[in-house]
């Protein structure tokens, strides 16, 4: 399963600059508290973990609960230390896994 | 055939059994679980959430913590909790000096008009928090699924 992902990372940054990162992923985030058309509870299906690694080093991690809105949007900051790649990973119920990368050039 | 005694026992069990939607801990209890009993001080945390929202399915929320984010003094984690959703936790983020700026923005679901709290865990082990009241006109989780 490949989920649609949108990532906003500046292409270039000065060394030591604090950059803002925005991520969005298509996912229903079904809470497990709603009833379906036949009256049964819809099973929970959420993203539980989001991580961001900068050249292999984890710089941000978030544990999500059903209270995060559908199509989770997460924005955070990091320091541009060196040129390389940022790797984003999402894990969730029913074996959901998605990842995306973004390159950054640091002057 | 259902015998009367079996039926009576079944009914008693149904009454005694916890409700399907297990009781959620109160906001204070949840805050205590995060802080581990340490004092939660007001300040340093800015919780930005609209005071009135039309749709509880996607409420923008931003947390910023006043911290130098150095090796010696940084924010270890940011927790967001709520008062009246079926579950108290919303999101917990782990960050460190490499974040540069202690901030987190996302969109959340709110099942009712309620209080939302953000708690920052500092590297020195102290906890700082901020709360905000949100009025929701159309709650999340109640809409019909088609």
Query: What ipTM was estimated for this complex?
Result: 0.90
Of the ranges A11-25, A29-43, B4-18, B83-97, which one carries the lowest mean pLDDT score? Answer: B4-18
Confidence of residue A99 (pLDDT cuts 50, 70, 90): very high
> What CATH number matches the domain at B24-138, 1.20.200.10, 2.40.50.140, 2.60.40.10, 2.60.40.2470?
2.60.40.2470
Closest of B95, B113, B116 to residue B104, by C-alpha: B95
Chain A residues with CB-CB distance to B98 below 8 A: 54, 57, 59, 78-79, 81
Chain A residues with CB-CB distance to B82 below 8 A: 67
Which residue of chain A is at minimal alpha-carbon distance from B78?
A62
Closest partner residue to B85 (CB to CB) among A19, A63, A67 is: A67
Contact B98 A57 (CB under 8 A): yes
Cβ-contact A72, A96 below 8 angstroms: no
SS3 of residue B19 by DSSP: coil
Confidence of residue B103 (pLDDT cuts 50, 70, 90): very high
Question: Tokens 């679980």 — which residue?
Answer: B33
* pLDDT over 60 at B10, yes or no: no
> What was the pLDDT predicted at B123?
92
Confidence of residue B26 (pLDDT cuts 50, 70, 90): confident
CB distance from A67 to chain B under 8 Å? Answer: yes
What is the CATH superfamily name and number for domain A5-33+41-106?
A: Immunoglobulins (2.60.40.10)
> What was the pLDDT predicted at B19?
45
Pairwise CA distance, residues B94 & B79, whole Å? 9
> What was the pLDDT predicted at B38?
87
Please count the other Cβ atoms lying within 10 Å of the Cβ belonging to residue B98.
17
> What was the pLDDT predicted at B6?
60
Considering chain A, what is the average pLDDT of its residues?
Answer: 93
User: Which pair of structure tokens corresponds to residue A45?
Assistant: 């299906």
Pairwise CA distance, residues B115 & B143, whole Å? 22
pLDDT tens for residues A38-83?
A: 889 899 999 999 999 999 999 999 999 999 999 999 999 999 999 9
Which of residues B126 and B142 earns the better pLDDT score? B126
């Amino acid at each position: 399963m490949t989920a649609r992902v949108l990532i906003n990372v500046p292409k270039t940054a000065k060394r030591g600059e604090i950059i803002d990162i925005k991520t969005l992923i298509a996912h229903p985030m079904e809470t497990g508290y709603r009833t379906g058309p036949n009256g049964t509870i819809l099973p929970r299906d959420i993203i539980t973990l989001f991580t961001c690694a900068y050249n292999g080093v984890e710089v941000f991690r978030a544990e999500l609960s059903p209270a995060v809105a559908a199509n989770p949007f997460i924005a955070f900051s990091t320091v541009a230390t060196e040129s390389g790649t940022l790797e984003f990973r999402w894990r969730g119920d029913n074996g959901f896994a998605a990842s995306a990368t973004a390159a950054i050039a640091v002057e | 055939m259902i015998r009367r005694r079996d039926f009576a026992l079944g009914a008693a069990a149904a009454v005694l059994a916890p409700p399907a939607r297990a009781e959620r801990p109160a906001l204070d209890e949840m805050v205590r679980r995060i802080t581990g009993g340490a004092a939660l001080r007001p300040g340093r945390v800015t919780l930005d959430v609209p005071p009135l929202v039309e749709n509880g399915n996607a409420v923008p929320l931003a947390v910023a913590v006043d911290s130098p984010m150095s090796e010696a003094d940084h924010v270890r984690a940011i927790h967001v909790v709520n008062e009246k959703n079926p579950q108290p936790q919303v999101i917990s983020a782990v960050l460190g000096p490499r974040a540069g700026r202690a901030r987190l923005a996302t969109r959340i679901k709110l099942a009712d008009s309620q209080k939302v709290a953000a708690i920052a865990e500092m590297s020195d082990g102290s906890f700082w928090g901020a709360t905000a009241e949100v009025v929701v006109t159309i709650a999340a989780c109640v809409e019909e699924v088609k």
